[in-house]
Every structure is written in structure tokens, then in C-alpha cells.
């Protein structure tokens, strides 16, 4: 099988199944004798921060000498990025091998119950089969959608994490924070410790606690870290864990106000793993592990002349956090002004947040992405017609970025690109193409 054929098998299906549930993944894994059940899994749910938290935890564990798998989504440039082992993506041949194993079993399942796997279910099964074969010391599984009925919830974790919860995917998870928190709390397992990030609403905490009490799961609430320094290429934070341990001046190459919370969660998880007897004393490796951790597309500076920052913020909380980081950068004169480039999916109702970012910017450039889920130029104009008067609507992403760069160079400002991870991926790919051609 060629890799292109494997990709076609994965992508030619719905992203998530219309009929949410674990039964399809359980059927397939049961055929392979449930090899995932032998893995030491850390399960991560939440609206924002899952990817960064997974990356920081893996960074520290790898710095300590452990082998670590990380299953994350979405990818930026290639699907292999979703299935990592010690930061190295699964290779094309391995993907093909697992797809070849999966095809006849899925056919058998379709004959049995008339249902096929979703895109995310296929990738989750490939990841679990891969990690079962490679047998790393730890596997960090990031939830794809919600938690309770997510494909990753077939696991029996040694520890669960819930990062910050806000409104997102309301069409699947419910239209209130309580409903969304209920779905995400579905990853809480009997007698499995739970680490919870800082929440903005009491109803979220009450919902999580209710499920934890029902499951006899001990809960550790994480305090927010203090930012003691921030710039374009890094930040420095102080952290206090739920165990009253303090860590000072932890440096991170990933920037953004939200990363302080993610670092606090990650350090607390590492300390809990130590206290539970899963790892040796991590204290001398936490600082270097955090510092070496990096995930592309999160407040990433991809150019210096002019400064171009890309950020995958795409929901209410993510865009709010981006706005607060931009405000801080302007206040500290880290940047002197902003040209904002954005484009988004049709299912993201974030008009207020885009307006607030637009108001901070000298100019806003709206671009449409070449994909079915993306808002078209017509839709962008209709939805955002009352935005900042210095707005442009560009059909081509390349054109929009080019205009933004020219204005930024002329006015000595920074370009900020956000609104969709797919947009960020295309901009990064654009810059990679330009660098290869030079």
C-alpha cells in the first residue's frame, strides 16, 4: 500500500461520527485483543491547552529518560504529526502497515453492525496499535471532541487531566458550560487521580467535582502560575503546585499568557506522577524539560522582518487569551502595532472576539481558506461588515499575507495571524515554501 492510499482511506470519511460512541473503536481493538490496555496512559481533555500540556509533560518525561508517546490533533502539515514517539512522528510505512491491518476488520464490523469508522476513530486506533507495538513508558492521549464519547475514552488511564473549559463545539457537546463540562468530565475514571486546570466559571468546577465524587477520583486543582518575564521568543514563570511545592523562573520557548496555566498543570502532573510512584524524582529535570518543549502554531514567531506571529486560537477562550497577550505586548512595547490576518471555519461563532482583536489592530485582513468548512469571502463580508473600518477582504491567503507584510514593514508593526489552525498551517507552509525557493 502506498502512503497516498492510506491517506485516502483515512480522509474519505466523516471527521467525527454522527452517532457518537465508543462501540466501534472497542469492536476493532477487541479484534486485536485490546493491546492498549497494557499501556500507561495519561488522558487529557479540555477546551484549550491540551496540546501544550501534553507537550510540556512529554518534554519533562523525555528529559528524565522515559520513552513517551503523544497522540494529538489536529496536525499542521502532515497527519503523521498526530502520532509521536519521543517527538518523532510515525513514519509513512508504519501508517500503511496499520491501515492494511485495519481495513478487513472494519469491513467485518460494517457487515456486523452497518457502521463505519470516523476519521478520528481510524487515527485513534492506529495510534493505540502503534503505541502497543512500540510499548513506550507513557502515552499521552489528547481527547478529540468532548470526552465521554470520544474515541480515546476506551483507555484505562493512570491519570486524567482536564484543562480550561469554555464554549466550543456546541453543536456536539451542548450550548452551556455545564453541558460541555459534563461531556469532558466523562473521562474521569474510578479511583484514577485527576488534575484540573484553572476554570473561569464555578459551574464547571461543580460539574467536575460531582463526577469525581461519584467515581472516587481524587482531584487536584492547579493554581495559575505567575509570569515574571515575557518576550517574543520566550517567557518565564513561577509555579506553585497543589502539593505546595514552588518552582521559580521556569523558562518556556512557547509564549502567550495562557501558557502559564499550561505550565502549572504540567508541573503538577509531573509531581503527581512522582508521588504516585510512576517516575523517579523529577526536580532536576523539570526546568530543562519545560524549556525544551515546543509546539508549532502556538504564538510562534515565524519571521522577524517584519515580525509575523501565528497562533492557532479559534474559539472564544483562545481568542480572548490571544487578545490579552497582544495587549501586553503593546503595553510593554514588545511590538509597536498590529496588522491582524484572520479566516475561520463556519462553525466558529467568535464575532465578539474577532472584533476585539480587530479594534487593537491598525488593519484587519480577512482571508478565506480553500476548504468546505471555511467561511467564504461573501460570508466573511456579511458577518464582519461592521468590523474595524481599516479592513481588507482578500480571496487569496497569499495575497492577504503579502498585503499584511507590506503594511507592517511600512509602519514598523507586527503581523498576527489567528482564527483557525488550518489558517496557521497554510501560513507556515507558505513561509516554508518561500524559504525553500530562496
Domains of the chain: 3-292 (3.40.1190.10), 300-437 (3.90.190.20)
Length of the chain, in residues = 438
C-alpha cell at 179: 453541558
Distance CA 124, CA 72 (A): 9
Task: Check whether 363 has a pLDDT greater than 70.
Answer: yes
137-165 pLDDT, tens digit each: 999 999 999 999 999 999 999 999 999 99
Give residue-wise pLDDT tens across range 244-282.
999 999 999 999 999 999 999 999 999 999 999 999 999
Q: Which residues contact 153 (CB under 8 A, 6 or more apart)?
A: 22, 43, 143, 147, 186, 187
- Strands 41-45, 68-71: pairing is unpaired
Q: Provide mean pLDDT across the span 216-230.
A: 93
CB 14, CB 116: distance < 8 Å: no
Percentage of the chain beyond pLDDT 90 is 76
pLDDT at residue 435 is higher than 80: no
Q: Is the pLDDT of residue 349 over 70?
A: no
Residue-level pLDDT at 386: 58
Beta strands in 78-218 (DSSP E): 83-85, 88-89, 138-142, 159-162, 194-196
Predicted local confidence at residue 61, as pLDDT: 99
The span from the CA of 126 to the CA of 379, in Å, is 37
Average pLDDT value for the chain: 92
Sign of CA pseudo-dihedral 14, 427, 262, 290: positive
Amino acid at each position: 500500500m502506498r502512503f497516498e492510499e492510506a491517506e485516502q482511506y483515512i480522509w474519505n470519511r466523516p471527521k467525527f461520527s454522527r452517532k457518537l460512541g465508543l462501540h466501534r473503536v472497542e469492536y476493532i481493538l477487541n479484534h486485536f485483543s485490546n493491546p492498549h490496555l497494557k499501556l500507561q496512559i495519561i488522558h487529557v481533555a479540555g477546551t484549550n491547552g491540551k496540546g501544550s500540556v501534553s507537550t510540556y509533560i512529554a518534554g519533562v518525561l523525555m528529559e528524565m529518560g522515559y520513552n513517551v508517546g503523544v497522540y494529538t490533533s489536529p496536525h499542521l502539515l502532515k497527519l503523521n504529526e498526530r502520532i509521536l514517539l519521543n517527538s518523532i512522528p510515525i513514519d509513512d510505512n508504519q501508517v500503511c502497515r496499520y491501515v492494511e491491518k485495519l481495513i478487513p476488520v472494519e469491513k467485518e464490523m460494517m457487515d456486523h453492525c452497518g457502521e463505519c469508522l470516523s476519521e478520528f476513530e481510524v487515527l485513534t486506533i492506529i495510534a493505540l496499535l502503534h503505541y502497543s507495538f512500540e510499548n513506550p513508558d507513557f502515552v499521552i492521549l489528547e481527547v478529540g471532541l468532548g470526552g465521554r464519547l470520544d474515541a480515546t475514552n476506551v483507555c484505562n488511564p493512570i491519570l486524567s487531566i482536564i484543562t480550561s473549559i469554555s464554549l466550543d463545539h456546541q453543536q456536539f457537546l451542548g450550548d452551556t458550560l455545564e453541558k460541555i463540562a459534563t461531556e469532558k468530565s466523562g473521562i474521569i475514571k474510578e479511583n484514577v487521580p485527576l488534575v484540573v486546570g484553572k476554570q473561569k466559571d464555578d459551574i464547571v468546577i461543580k460539574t467536575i467535582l460531582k463526577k469525581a465524587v461519584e467515581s472516587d477520583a481524587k482531584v487536584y486543582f492547579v493554581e495559575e502560575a505567575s509570569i515574571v518575564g515575557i518576550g517574543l521568543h520566550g517567557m518565564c514563570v513561577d509555579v506553585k503546585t497543589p502539593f505546595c511545592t514552588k518552582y521559580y523562573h521556569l523558562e518556556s520557548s512557547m509564549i502567550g499568557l495562557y501558557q502559564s496555566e499550561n505550565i502549572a498543570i504540567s508541573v503538577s502532573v509531573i509531581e503527581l506522577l512522582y508521588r504516585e510512584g510512576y517516575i523517579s524524582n523529577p526536580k532536576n529535570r523539570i526546568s530543562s524539560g519545560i524549556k525544551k518543549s515546543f509546539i508549532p502554531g502556538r504564538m510562534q514567531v515565524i519571521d522577524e522582518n517584519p515580525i509575523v506571529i501565528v497562533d492557532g486560537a479559534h474559539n472564544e477562550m483562545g481568542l480572548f487569551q490571544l487578545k490579552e497577550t497582544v495587549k501586553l505586548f503593546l503595553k510593554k512595547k514588545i511590538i509597536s502595532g498590529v496588522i491582524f490576518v484572520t479566516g475561520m471555519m463556519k462553525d466558529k461563532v467568535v464575532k465578539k472576539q474577532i472584533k476585539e482583536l480587530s479594534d487593537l489592530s491598525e488593519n484587519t485582513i480577512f482571508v478565506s481558506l480553500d476548504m468546505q468548512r471555511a467561511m467564504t469571502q461573501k460570508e466573511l463580508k456579511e458577518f464582519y461588515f461592521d468590523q474595524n473600518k481599516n479592513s481588507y477582504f482578500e480571496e487569496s491567503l497569499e495575497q492577504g499575507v503579502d498585503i499584511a507584510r507590506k503594511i507592517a514593514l511600512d509602519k514598523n508593526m507586527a503581523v498576527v495571524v489567528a482564527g483557525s489552525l488550518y489558517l496557521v498551517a497554510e501560513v507556515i507552509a507558505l513561509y516554508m515554501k518561500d524559504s525553500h525557493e530562496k
